Amino acid sequence: MKAHVGGLPHHLVVTRVKQYASQRFREAMQVYRTEFPPRARLPVTRIRALLRLGQYQLFIVQDTGRVLAMALLWIGVRPAFIHLDYLAVKPEWKGQGIGTAFYRWLVAHLGELSPRAQLLTLEVEEDLIGFYRRSQTRVLHNVPYLFPALHGPIPMHLMVYDRQGRKTLSRAVVQSLIRALYRGIHHRRADDALLRSFISRVPQQVSVV
Protein backbone atom coordinates (compact mmCIF):
# COMPACT_ATOMS: atom_id res chain seq x y z
CA MET A 1 0.00 0.00 0.00
CA LYS A 2 1.41 3.35 -1.07
CA ALA A 3 -0.48 6.61 -1.36
CA HIS A 4 -0.03 10.35 -1.16
CA VAL A 5 -0.92 12.07 2.11
CA GLY A 6 -3.86 14.42 1.73
CA GLY A 7 -3.23 17.98 2.92
CA LEU A 8 0.56 17.71 2.55
CA PRO A 9 3.00 18.33 -0.29
CA HIS A 10 2.54 15.87 -3.13
CA HIS A 11 5.99 14.31 -2.68
CA LEU A 12 5.07 12.91 0.76
CA VAL A 13 3.62 9.41 0.64
CA VAL A 14 2.39 6.78 3.10
CA THR A 15 3.89 3.33 2.63
CA ARG A 16 3.41 0.06 4.46
CA VAL A 17 6.79 -1.44 5.37
CA LYS A 18 7.00 -5.20 4.86
CA GLN A 19 10.78 -5.68 4.71
CA TYR A 20 12.04 -5.78 8.29
CA ALA A 21 15.74 -5.67 7.48
CA SER A 22 15.38 -2.65 5.20
CA GLN A 23 16.73 0.87 5.58
CA ARG A 24 13.15 2.18 5.85
CA PHE A 25 12.48 -0.16 8.77
CA ARG A 26 15.68 0.94 10.53
CA GLU A 27 14.79 4.61 10.06
CA ALA A 28 11.26 4.03 11.35
CA MET A 29 12.63 2.31 14.45
CA GLN A 30 15.02 5.21 15.03
CA VAL A 31 12.05 7.60 15.10
CA TYR A 32 10.29 5.17 17.46
CA ARG A 33 13.23 4.98 19.88
CA THR A 34 13.69 8.75 19.84
CA GLU A 35 10.06 9.61 20.52
CA PHE A 36 9.03 7.00 23.10
CA PRO A 37 10.71 6.50 26.48
CA PRO A 38 11.92 3.00 27.37
CA ARG A 39 9.05 2.47 29.84
CA ALA A 40 6.50 2.90 27.05
CA ARG A 41 8.04 0.99 24.16
CA LEU A 42 8.68 -2.55 23.05
CA PRO A 43 12.10 -3.87 22.06
CA VAL A 44 12.65 -3.66 18.31
CA THR A 45 13.19 -7.43 18.23
CA ARG A 46 9.68 -7.87 19.64
CA ILE A 47 8.21 -5.46 17.08
CA ARG A 48 9.90 -7.33 14.26
CA ALA A 49 8.48 -10.63 15.56
CA LEU A 50 4.95 -9.20 15.80
CA LEU A 51 5.21 -7.82 12.28
CA ARG A 52 6.31 -11.17 10.90
CA LEU A 53 3.39 -12.86 12.67
CA GLY A 54 1.00 -10.41 11.04
CA GLN A 55 -0.21 -8.98 14.36
CA TYR A 56 1.36 -5.59 13.73
CA GLN A 57 1.44 -3.42 10.61
CA LEU A 58 4.06 -0.70 10.16
CA PHE A 59 3.33 2.42 8.12
CA ILE A 60 5.62 5.34 7.37
CA VAL A 61 5.41 8.80 5.86
CA GLN A 62 8.35 9.38 3.56
CA ASP A 63 9.68 11.70 0.94
CA THR A 64 12.50 10.83 -1.42
CA GLY A 65 14.62 8.49 0.67
CA ARG A 66 13.71 9.78 4.13
CA VAL A 67 11.31 8.49 6.77
CA LEU A 68 9.52 11.41 8.43
CA ALA A 69 6.96 9.58 10.58
CA MET A 70 5.95 6.08 11.63
CA ALA A 71 2.90 4.27 13.01
CA LEU A 72 2.37 0.78 14.38
CA LEU A 73 -1.11 -0.72 14.18
CA TRP A 74 -2.32 -3.86 15.90
CA ILE A 75 -5.15 -5.70 14.15
CA GLY A 76 -7.61 -7.23 16.60
CA VAL A 77 -9.68 -10.22 15.50
CA ARG A 78 -11.98 -11.08 18.45
CA PRO A 79 -13.48 -8.53 18.59
CA ALA A 80 -12.57 -7.03 15.22
CA PHE A 81 -10.97 -3.63 15.77
CA ILE A 82 -7.70 -1.80 15.11
CA HIS A 83 -5.45 -0.36 17.78
CA LEU A 84 -3.03 2.48 17.05
CA ASP A 85 -0.20 1.48 19.35
CA TYR A 86 2.36 4.10 18.32
CA LEU A 87 2.48 7.16 16.08
CA ALA A 88 5.48 9.49 15.96
CA VAL A 89 6.94 12.22 13.77
CA LYS A 90 10.66 12.85 13.45
CA PRO A 91 11.55 15.82 15.72
CA GLU A 92 12.71 18.16 12.96
CA TRP A 93 9.46 17.62 11.01
CA LYS A 94 7.05 18.36 13.85
CA GLY A 95 4.70 21.32 13.63
CA GLN A 96 4.10 20.96 9.89
CA GLY A 97 0.86 18.99 10.02
CA ILE A 98 2.44 15.65 9.19
CA GLY A 99 1.16 13.85 12.31
CA THR A 100 -2.42 15.06 11.82
CA ALA A 101 -2.45 14.21 8.10
CA PHE A 102 -0.90 10.80 8.77
CA TYR A 103 -3.46 9.96 11.44
CA ARG A 104 -6.35 11.05 9.22
CA TRP A 105 -4.95 8.93 6.39
CA LEU A 106 -4.93 5.89 8.69
CA VAL A 107 -8.50 6.59 9.82
CA ALA A 108 -9.67 6.98 6.21
CA HIS A 109 -8.20 3.58 5.32
CA LEU A 110 -9.51 1.53 8.27
CA GLY A 111 -11.82 -0.43 6.00
CA GLU A 112 -8.90 -1.55 3.87
CA LEU A 113 -6.75 -2.46 6.86
CA SER A 114 -9.49 -4.58 8.48
CA PRO A 115 -12.84 -4.73 6.63
CA ARG A 116 -14.77 -5.93 9.70
CA ALA A 117 -13.32 -3.36 12.12
CA GLN A 118 -15.58 -0.42 13.02
CA LEU A 119 -13.39 0.99 15.80
CA LEU A 120 -9.87 2.33 16.06
CA THR A 121 -8.67 2.47 19.68
CA LEU A 122 -5.87 4.41 21.34
CA GLU A 123 -4.31 4.50 24.81
CA VAL A 124 -3.71 8.21 25.36
CA GLU A 125 -2.21 10.40 28.05
CA GLU A 126 -3.90 13.68 28.94
CA ASP A 127 -1.67 15.95 26.86
CA LEU A 128 -2.54 14.22 23.56
CA ILE A 129 -6.33 14.16 23.85
CA GLY A 130 -6.72 17.46 21.99
CA PHE A 131 -4.58 16.26 19.08
CA TYR A 132 -6.80 13.26 18.41
CA ARG A 133 -10.07 15.05 19.12
CA ARG A 134 -9.35 17.36 16.19
CA SER A 135 -9.73 14.28 13.99
CA GLN A 136 -13.14 13.12 15.31
CA THR A 137 -11.61 10.73 17.83
CA ARG A 138 -13.38 10.65 21.19
CA VAL A 139 -12.74 9.69 24.81
CA LEU A 140 -14.58 6.77 26.41
CA HIS A 141 -16.04 8.80 29.27
CA ASN A 142 -15.70 7.54 32.86
CA VAL A 143 -13.83 4.42 31.75
CA PRO A 144 -10.95 3.73 34.13
CA TYR A 145 -7.86 2.45 32.36
CA LEU A 146 -4.38 1.52 33.52
CA PHE A 147 -1.57 1.05 31.03
CA PRO A 148 0.53 -1.87 32.36
CA ALA A 149 3.99 -0.33 32.01
CA LEU A 150 7.10 -2.22 33.02
CA HIS A 151 7.77 -0.09 36.09
CA GLY A 152 4.18 0.28 37.25
CA PRO A 153 0.72 1.12 35.85
CA ILE A 154 0.13 4.46 34.15
CA PRO A 155 -3.38 5.98 34.19
CA MET A 156 -4.47 6.69 30.63
CA HIS A 157 -7.57 7.51 28.63
CA LEU A 158 -9.06 5.12 26.10
CA MET A 159 -10.06 6.91 22.91
CA VAL A 160 -11.91 5.59 19.88
CA TYR A 161 -12.56 6.58 16.31
CA ASP A 162 -15.87 4.96 15.38
CA ARG A 163 -16.68 4.48 11.70
CA GLN A 164 -20.37 4.41 12.71
CA GLY A 165 -20.16 7.63 14.73
CA ARG A 166 -21.99 6.19 17.75
CA LYS A 167 -22.52 8.39 20.82
CA THR A 168 -22.47 5.48 23.28
CA LEU A 169 -20.97 2.01 23.50
CA SER A 170 -22.21 -0.78 25.73
CA ARG A 171 -20.30 -2.00 28.74
CA ALA A 172 -19.84 -5.39 27.07
CA VAL A 173 -18.24 -3.83 23.97
CA VAL A 174 -15.85 -1.67 25.99
CA GLN A 175 -14.87 -4.51 28.31
CA SER A 176 -14.19 -6.77 25.32
CA LEU A 177 -11.91 -4.08 23.85
CA ILE A 178 -10.00 -3.72 27.11
CA ARG A 179 -9.59 -7.46 27.54
CA ALA A 180 -8.36 -7.78 23.95
CA LEU A 181 -5.80 -5.00 24.49
CA TYR A 182 -4.51 -6.61 27.68
CA ARG A 183 -4.32 -10.01 26.01
CA GLY A 184 -3.06 -9.06 22.56
CA ILE A 185 -0.95 -5.95 23.18
CA HIS A 186 0.20 -6.38 26.76
CA HIS A 187 0.24 -10.19 26.95
CA ARG A 188 -1.71 -10.32 30.22
CA ARG A 189 -3.97 -13.17 31.30
CA ALA A 190 -7.73 -12.84 31.71
CA ASP A 191 -7.31 -13.12 35.49
CA ASP A 192 -4.58 -10.43 35.61
CA ALA A 193 -4.82 -8.56 38.91
CA LEU A 194 -4.30 -5.12 37.35
CA LEU A 195 -7.01 -5.75 34.76
CA ARG A 196 -9.42 -6.98 37.45
CA SER A 197 -8.73 -3.87 39.54
CA PHE A 198 -10.63 -1.60 37.14
CA ILE A 199 -12.55 -3.48 34.45
CA SER A 200 -15.62 -4.04 36.65
CA ARG A 201 -15.97 -0.25 37.01
CA VAL A 202 -16.81 0.31 33.33
CA PRO A 203 -20.29 1.94 33.20
CA GLN A 204 -23.28 0.08 31.75
CA GLN A 205 -23.44 2.62 28.91
CA VAL A 206 -20.26 4.43 27.98
CA SER A 207 -20.55 7.92 26.49
CA VAL A 208 -18.19 8.70 23.62
CA VAL A 209 -17.26 12.37 24.13
Give the model confidence (pLDDT) of 53-99 as tens digits: 888 999 999 988 799 999 999 999 889 999 999 999 999 999 999 99
Closest CA to 9 of 46, 88, 62, 56: 62
pLDDT computed for residue 7 by the predictor: 62
pLDDT computed for residue 1 by the predictor: 56
Rounded distance, CA 37 to CA 19, Å? 25
Rounded distance, CA 103 to CA 128, Å? 13
> Residue 40: which pLDDT band, with cuts at 50, 70 and 90?
confident
Over residues 1-8, the mean pLDDT reads: 61
Cβ-count burial of 102 within 10 angstroms (0-12 exposed, 13-18 middle, 19+ buried)?
A: buried
Q: Which domains does the chain have, with CATH numbers?
A: 1-114 (3.40.630.30), 118-209 (no CATH)
3-state SS of the chain is CEEECCCCCCCCEEEEECCCCCHHHHHHHHHHHHHCCHHHCCCHHHHHHHHHHCCEEEEEEEECCEEEEEEEEEEECCCCEEEEEEEEECHHHCCCCHHHHHHHHHHHCHHHHCCCCCEEEEEECHHHHHHHHCCCCEEECCCCCEECCCCCCEECEEEEEECCCCCEEEHHHHHHHHHHHHHHHCCCCCCCHHHHCCHHHCCCEEEEC
pLDDT computed for residue 63 by the predictor: 87
pLDDT computed for residue 38 by the predictor: 83
